[in-house]
């Protein structure tokens, strides 16, 4: 299974791919404010690529639980100059982490080549048209509610089937707009409208999502459920916990892992891949 487009190729049979996170925000849960300065953001993006990121995921709006939205104009102001600068310096595919069609369009014009939509095409009806127009690969994620309220007592009658149904509908929405199915990636949305128990159940049952026939991406990096398992560890103290969750996710079918600690998680992925394949 692979996705080939433009000058890029993600060959998921060859290895697990590392998606490095760059949040150009003042309030993201893990690195909010660290890269809000444009020059620091560009430097960090280049560092992530050097450390082994196969994809750079750049976002300008925090989607942590309880977060407020920012305007399209502000999101563009934060992300587009960084994308323009990074795209000129390295040949690593850049993903724009947004659910807003106008932001995606400007980012794709600036040098991004993927779209990572946390809403699975549900929040902006114009998004499918933009993705289809640019022929960009698309990550479809599951979310219950919106970031502002998603962690307010999320309840499911049947967790895995409900998430899979949501993603099936997202795949159909993409197809109706002319987005080829072979450019889609799915993400069960760990931490997006889920309790700790929900997150653990998703990771345990990740293989179920491979039945949808698309590569599976997961984002467990430094998330709150890891901190709670580790007795209240802060985000910077969750690297080892993240490594455990990443390794298990890969063993259970994840082909993209979205992480903050690229250097460390690239090593984790390399070992997990070797175990899966039975060879180096």
Query: pLDDT (tens digit, 9 = 90+) per residue, 170-207?
Result: 999 999 999 999 999 999 999 999 999 999 999 999 99
Per-residue burial over 35-70, b if 16 or more Cβ lie within 10 Å, else e, is: bbeeeebbebbbebbeebbbbbbbbbbbbbbebebb
Q: What is the pLDDT of residue 30?
A: 53
The topology (CATH level 3) of 15-277 is TIM Barrel (3.20.20)
What are the tokens at 17? 């791919």
pLDDT in tens, 36-55: 688 999 999 999 999 999 99
Contact in structure between 100 and 70 (CB atoms under 8 Å):
no
Q: What is the pLDDT of residue 53?
A: 98
Q: What is the pLDDT of residue 172?
A: 98
Q: What is the mean pLDDT of residues 228-236?
A: 95
pLDDT in tens, 61-102: 988 888 888 999 999 999 999 999 999 999 999 999 999 999
Residue position matching structure tokens 């998430």: 163
Contact in structure between 21 and 259 (CB atoms under 8 Å):
yes
The rounded distance, in Å, linking the Cα atoms of 11 and 13 is 6
Please tell me which residue in 78, 223, 238, 255 is annotated as part of the active site. 223
Beta bridge partners of 258: 19
Read off the pTM. 0.95
Tell me if residue 258 is catalytic. yes
**DSSP E strands: which ranges in 66-199?**
94-97, 114-117, 138-141, 184-187
Burial degree of 77 (CB within 10 A; 0-12, 13-18, 19+) = middle
The pLDDT-based confidence of 25 (bands split at 50, 70, 90) is confident
The pLDDT-based confidence of 27 (bands split at 50, 70, 90) is low
The pLDDT-based confidence of 33 (bands split at 50, 70, 90) is low
pLDDT in tens, 117-148: 999 999 999 999 999 999 999 999 999 999 99
Residue position matching structure tokens 């080829």: 180
The rounded distance, in Å, linking the Cα atoms of 173 and 205 is 25
Give backbone dihedrals phi and psi of 114, rounded to 5 degrees, phi first: -130, 160
Tell me if residue 223 is catalytic. yes
Secondary structure of 231-246 in HEC code, one letter for each residue: CCCCHHHCHHHHHHHH
Q: Where are the chain's structural domains?
A: 15-277
């Amino acid at each position: 299974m692979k996705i080939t487009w433009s000058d890029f190729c993600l060959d998921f049979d060859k290895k697990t791919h590392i998606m490095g996170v760059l949040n150009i925000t003042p309030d993201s849960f893990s690195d909010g404010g660290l890269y809000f300065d444009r020059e620091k953001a560009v430097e960090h993006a280049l560092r992530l690529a050097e450390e082994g990121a196969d994809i750079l995921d750049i976002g300008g709006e925090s989607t942590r639980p309880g977060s407020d939205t920012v305007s399209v104009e502000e999101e563009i102001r934060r992300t587009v100059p960084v994308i323009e600068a990074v795209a000129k310096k390295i040949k690593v595919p850049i993903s724009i982490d947004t659910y807003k069609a106008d932001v995606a369009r400007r980012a794709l014009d600036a040098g991004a080549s993927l779209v990572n939509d946390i809403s699975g095409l549900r929040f902006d009806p114009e998004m499918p048209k933009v993705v289809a127009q640019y022929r960009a690969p698309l990550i479809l994620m599951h979310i219950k509610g919106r970031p502002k309220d998603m962690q307010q007592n999320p309840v499911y009658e049947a967790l895995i089937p409900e998430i899979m149904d949501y993603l099936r509908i997202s795949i159909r929405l993409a197809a109706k707009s002319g987005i080829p199915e072979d450019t889609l990636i799915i993400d069960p949305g760990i931490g997006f409208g889920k309790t700790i128990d929900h997150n653990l159940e998703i990771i345990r049952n990740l293989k179920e999502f491979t039945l949808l026939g698309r590569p599976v991406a997961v984002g467990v990096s430094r998330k709150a459920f890891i901190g709670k398992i580790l007795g209240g560890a802060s985000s910077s103290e969750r690297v080892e916990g993240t490594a455990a969750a990443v390794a298990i996710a890969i063993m259970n079918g994840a082909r993209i892992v979205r992480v903050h600690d690229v250097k460390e998680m690239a090593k984790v992925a390399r070992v997990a891949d070797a175990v899966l394949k039975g060879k180096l």
